Amino acid sequence: KNADSEQVAVYMANRDFVDHCDFVDPVDGVIVIDPLQLKGKKVYVMLSCAFRYGRPGEDVMGVAFHRDLFLMTRQVYPELQDKDKLTHTKIQHKLLRKLGDNAFPFFFEFPDNLPCSVALQPGPSDVGKKCAVEFEVKAFCGENQDDKTDKQSSVRLSIRKIQYSPENSQLVPAAETTFEFLMSEKPLTVKMSMPKETFYHGEPVRVNVEITNSSSRNIKDISLSVEQVTNIVLYSNDKYVKSVAKEETTDCVPSGTSLKKEYVLYPLLSLNKDRRGLALDGRLKHEDTNLASSSIVKQEVLKEVQGILVSYKVMLRMIAAGSVSLELPFRLMNPKPDPGTLLLRLLRLLRLLRLLRLLRLLRLLRLLRLLRLLRLLRLLRLLRLLRLLRLLRLLRLLRLLRLLRLLSVFKQLVENR
């Protein structure tokens, strides 16, 4: 991405960086500068993680709903170390080789305590408002890093920190409870289980329900729902509970009978569009996203620093002379990509390199066009000179003709005398 003034350009192989629980992918890339346009200014690159709510610059009673969770700035130009010491990845080596001497590498490592990218879906009337944890890479130029940045000479790139599902555990989620009613000797037993702890986005969530009704009550209006629980833990402990999938059944369990059945729920963003307050995985411009993945907080990290925490649970509800409910937590996450996605990254790199070659070709074409224009201008000048010479010759001829006419007139006058 280029700055409007074309002083600075940022090249990155990808904009998604994965938290593998034990380590996080580093942020790396290359910055290309135009030394002539910089006019002695320095170039910096900054990695930031911010929690924000509302429009930019909006505040309530002097308190801005914006907080930088992480901020790191590094000087890229003039370089403080050799390029070889600052180059950490093969991608950077390739980009530096292709982009030339005015390209400089940058490299950042995420600290362990940062959250993943999350955004709350605004309602149709919430124009410009946003509640999100966002990451950004910003390149800018100035006399020092504290200078006020000019939009024309800076580049902002939104990036995402995402988390894939950890290795499949053998844990099978299950919950069981008993309810005792007045005037009933035996209880109602409800069991709920799931085949696995982690489900992937787009995958149906299967729930096994087992109800043994030994009580004297009749069970009816059985319903199941997947609920998304969002905790805003930075400024306050606000909690938002939203149902993202629901199934209401006509199943009933009369007294002295039992029910054993599997229910299937589909927690999809496509079924919950325009619902205000739903937590989504952070999105980049013009890209689709999904429901927010379950937050996995490391043991040594404070929850308050995470900004927004997301979890999921299945709620089972029924009516038996009153409301009876049972909940079972689970995880909803993205699967680890196949090795084939590495090929996709390589393809992206190849596309980048092709784009760079195309840019170079375009520059060459522009130069050729300029040369052709210069040649045309020279030709035009020559033609003008030739025309001028012809005009001069014509003028000389006209003068000679006038002289000849004058001589002939003079001769006639002499002869007449």
Q: What is the pLDDT of residues 322-352, one digit of tens each?
A: 788 899 999 998 887 665 555 566 566 667 6
Answer whether residue 3 is part of any domain.
no
pTM over 0.85: no
Answer whether residue 168 is part of any domain.
no
Answer whether residue 274 is part of any domain.
yes
Q: What is the pLDDT of residue 396?
A: 86
Last residue of a domain, one of 163, 184, 210: 163
Answer whether residue 87 is part of any domain.
yes
**Of 265, 243, 192, 187, the residue nearest 219 (C-alpha):** 187
- Provide, rounded to the nearest whole percent, the portion of the chain with pLDDT above 90: 13
If asked whether residues 122 and 16 sit together in one domain, one would say: yes
Answer whether residue 2 is part of any domain.
no
Span 205-209, mean pLDDT? 93
Q: What is the pLDDT of residue 328?
A: 93
If asked whether residues 207 and 324 sit together in one domain, one would say: yes
Specify the CATH number for the domain of residue 111.
Answer: 2.60.40.840
Q: What is the pLDDT of residue 31?
A: 87
CA distances from 133 to 68, 207, 237 (A): 10, 32, 16
Last residue of a domain, one of 333, 354, 372: 333
Other CB atoms closer than 10 Å to residue 261's CB: what's the count? 12
Answer whether residue 241 is part of any domain.
yes
If asked whether residues 115 and 178 sit together in one domain, one would say: no
If asked whether residues 28 and 71 sit together in one domain, one would say: yes
If asked whether residues 311 and 352 sit together in one domain, one would say: no
If asked whether residues 126 and 73 sit together in one domain, one would say: yes
pLDDT band at 175 (very low <50, low <70, confident <90, very high): very high
Answer whether residue 169 is part of any domain.
no
- Provide, rounded to the nearest whole percent, the portion of the chain with pLDDT above 70: 85
Answer whether residue 277 is part of any domain.
yes
Last residue of a domain, one of 113, 139, 163: 163
Q: What is the pLDDT of residue 342?
A: 53
Q: Is the dihedral of CA 224, 297, 239, 177 positive or negative?
A: positive
Which has more confidence, 133 or 307? 133
Q: Which residues fall within 8 angstroms of residue 39, CB to CB, at 6 or more apart?
A: none
Specify the CATH number for the domain of residue 242.
Answer: 2.60.40.640
Average predicted confidence (pLDDT) for the chain: 81
**Residue 61 pLDDT more than 50?**
no
Least confident of 50-54, 63-67, 146-150, 352-356: 63-67
If asked whether residues 99 and 218 sit together in one domain, one would say: no
If asked whether residues 275 and 346 sit together in one domain, one would say: no
User: Strand (E) positions, 54-163?
Assistant: 59-60, 63-64, 66-77, 103-108, 118-120, 131-142, 154-163
Which residue type sits at 324? V
Q: What is the pLDDT of residue 271?
A: 85
**Residue 166 pLDDT more than 80?**
no
Domain count, the chain: 3
If asked whether residues 134 and 255 sit together in one domain, one would say: no
Q: What is the pLDDT of residue 341?
A: 56
Cα–Cα distance for residue pair 131/244, rounded to 1 Å: 19
pLDDT per residue as tens digits for the range 356-405: 677 777 777 777 787 787 787 888 888 888 888 888 888 888 888 888 88
Domain range enclosing 210: 174-333
Span 102-114, mean pLDDT? 85
Q: What is the pLDDT of residue 261?
A: 92
**Residue 240 pLDDT more than 90?**
no
If asked whether residues 182 and 313 sit together in one domain, one would say: yes
If asked whether residues 53 and 116 sit together in one domain, one would say: yes
If asked whether residues 328 and 356 sit together in one domain, one would say: no
**Residue 27 pLDDT more than 80?**
yes
pLDDT per residue as tens digits for the range 241-252: 999 999 998 889
Cα–Cα distance for residue pair 330/311, rounded to 1 Å: 8
Decide: 250 and 271 in contact? Cβ < 8 Å.
Answer: no
pLDDT band at 263 (very low <50, low <70, confident <90, very high): very high
pLDDT per residue as tens digits for the range 395-408: 888 888 888 888 88
